[in-house]
Amino acid sequence: MGSQSLKDQYSTTAGPFNSPPFHTVERLPWTGLNRVFAAIYGCAILALLYHHVQTLANSKTLASFSITLSLLIADLVLAFMWVSAQAFRMCPIRRKEYPENLKRLVKEEDFPGLDVFICTADPYKEPPMGVVNTALSLMAYDYLTEKISVYVSDDGGSAFTLLAFMEAAKFAGHWLPFCRKKNIMDRRPDAYFSSPQFSSSEADEIKEIYESMKGRVENAMNRGEVSENYINNDEEREAFNKWKPGFTPQDHPTIIQVLLDSRHNKDITGHFLPNLIYVSRQKSKTSPHHFKAGALNVLLRVSTIMTNAPIILTQDRDMYSNDPGTPLRMLCYACDPAIQSTLGFVQFPQRFQGINKYDY
Ligand SMILES: O=c1ccn([C@@H]2O[C@H](COP(=O)(O)OP(=O)(O)O[C@H]3O[C@H](CO)[C@@H](O)[C@H](O)[C@H]3O)[C@@H](O)[C@H]2O)c(=O)[nH]1
Ligand SMILES: [Mn+2]
C-alpha cells in the first residue's frame, strides 16, 4: 500500500507524530510451506503440460491428436486457475487497526463526514425489508450520527421500497439508541433478533416495533399497492403521488426523498439521527442505465450536492456491516499521513452467510 514497501510496513511500530500506531500489518506464519508446496505443484503441472506437448507432436492419428489437444487445453485452463489462486497464498498478511490510538490524536468532532451508498434493484428479488436491515446496520455505526448520510438507490423504482424506508426512518429512532445503550455488535435488526444474545423486556419491545413495521411493508406488498392507510401526512402523500400512471421501473422521472434530516430529526433519547435519503434515478428505455455502476454514479452526483462527505462507503443490499466500529477502522488508514496521499480505498473482508439458492 502506498509508497512504503510491505517490508517497511511489517516493522510499523509508531503512528503519526511518534504516537502508537493506527494500524499494523503482520505476515502470517507457515507461508514458507505454501511456497514449497506451490513450487512442487508447479513443477508437476509443467511436467504434465510437457508430456501433453510431446504426445501431441508424436501423435499419428487424428483421434489421438484431438484427444491430446483437448487434454492440453483443459490442463492449461486448470493450470491458469490454480496459478491465479496462488496469489492469495504467497504472502498472506493480517492487518490490525487501533481506533483507540486514533481517538487519542483526533477529536471525534473532527472526524470527516461519511456518505453511505446502498443500491437495490428489484423489490421482489431483493425484498425491501432486507435492504432496510442493511441500511439500519450502517445508520447505527459508532460514529457521530449527524456526520453519517445514508443514500439508498432504488433501481426498482418501487413505492414499496420507499414505504419500507419511511417506516425504517421511524424505527431508527428506537433502534439506534437501543444499539448504543446495549453496545450491540450485530446492528442488523433481523440478525440481532435471531441471535442468542437477544433477551430482555426492552429488546422484546423493540422487536415488537420492528415486527409491526415489517408487517406493514409486507402487507402493502401482498396487496400490491401503498393504500391511503399507510400514508401519514401530506409530505408522504406527495412522495407517493410521483408514481403516476405509466410509471415503470424502466421508464420514470427521478424521485429524491429526504426521509431523515440530521439537522432536525432526533431519536427517542434526543440524539440527532443520520441523514437518510431515498433516490430512484430517472430511467428511460432509450438510454442505457449501466446497472450498479450507473446507480453509484447517480448517488455520487446527488450526494455531492447534498452532503459532499470526503469519505464514501458503499455496500450491496444483500450485505450488512457486522462491526459498528468500521468507520473508525477505515479512518485508521485514511488518517495515516504516511499512506494518506496514495490511499484510494479500504476494503473490508466479506463473510458469506445464509446464501440463497440464486447466489451460488
Ligand atoms: O441494475 C442494477 C443491478 C444491480 N444493482 C445492485 O448491485 C448490487 C450487486 O448486485 P447483486 O445482484 O447482488 O450481484 P452479485 O453478483 O451478488 O454482486 C457481486 O457482483 C457484482 C458485479 O457483478 C458487484 O457489483 C457486487 O459488488 C458483487 O457483490 C446489488 O446491491 C444490486 O441491488 C443495481 O443497483 N442496479
Ligand atoms: Mn450480491
pLDDT tens string 37-84: 999 999 999 999 999 999 999 999 999 999 999 999 999 999 999 999
Do 86 and 114 reside in the same domain of the chain?
A: no
Shortest-distance Cα residue to atom 29 of ligand 1: 316
Inside any domain, residue 6: no
Inside any domain, residue 314: yes
Inside any domain, residue 119: yes
Mean pLDDT by 10 residues, the chain (360 residues): 42 64 92 94 98 95 96 98 91 94 94 97 96 98 96 98 98 97 94 84 94 97 94 95 96 98 97 98 96 98 98 94 95 93 92 64
Shortest-distance Cα residue to atom 9 of ligand 1: 316
Shortest-distance Cα residue to atom 23 of ligand 1: 292
Q: Residue 19 has what pLDDT?
A: 79
Ligand 1 centroid, distance to 323 Cα (angstroms): 22
Do 71 and 115 reside in the same domain of the chain?
A: no
Q: Is 121 in the pocket of ligand 1 (CB under 6 A)?
A: yes
Q: Residue 8 has what pLDDT?
A: 45
Do 87 and 166 reside in the same domain of the chain?
A: no
Domain that holds residue 18: 13-27+93-105
Torsion of Cα atoms, 62 then 65 then 66 then 71, to 10°: 160
Do 215 and 202 reside in the same domain of the chain?
A: yes
Q: Is 115 in the pocket of ligand 1 (CB under 6 A)?
A: no
Inside any domain, residue 355: no
Q: Which residue has the cell 500489518?
A: 25
Annotated binding site for Mn(2+): 292, 316
Q: Residue 314 has what pLDDT?
A: 96
Do 115 and 137 reside in the same domain of the chain?
A: yes
Q: Residue 88 has what pLDDT?
A: 84
**Which atom of ligand 1 is closest in space to residue 350's alpha carbon?**
29
**Complex-level ipTM:** 0.91
282 CB contacts (<8 Å, ≥6 apart)?
A: 252, 253, 254
Alpha carbon distance 190, 206 (integer Å): 11
Alpha carbon distance 351, 143 (integer Å): 23
Ligand 1 centroid, distance to 281 Cα (angstroms): 16
Do 145 and 179 reside in the same domain of the chain?
A: yes
Q: Is 318 in the pocket of ligand 1 (CB under 6 A)?
A: yes
Do 20 and 39 reside in the same domain of the chain?
A: no
Shortest-distance Cα residue to atom 17 of ligand 1: 359
Ligand 2 centroid, distance to 356 Cα (angstroms): 10
Do 119 and 132 reside in the same domain of the chain?
A: yes
**Which atom of ligand 1 is closest in space to residue 359's alpha carbon?**
17
Q: Residue 16 has what pLDDT?
A: 66
159 CB contacts (<8 Å, ≥6 apart)?
A: 225, 226, 240, 243
Q: Which ligand is nearest to the CA of 134?
A: 1
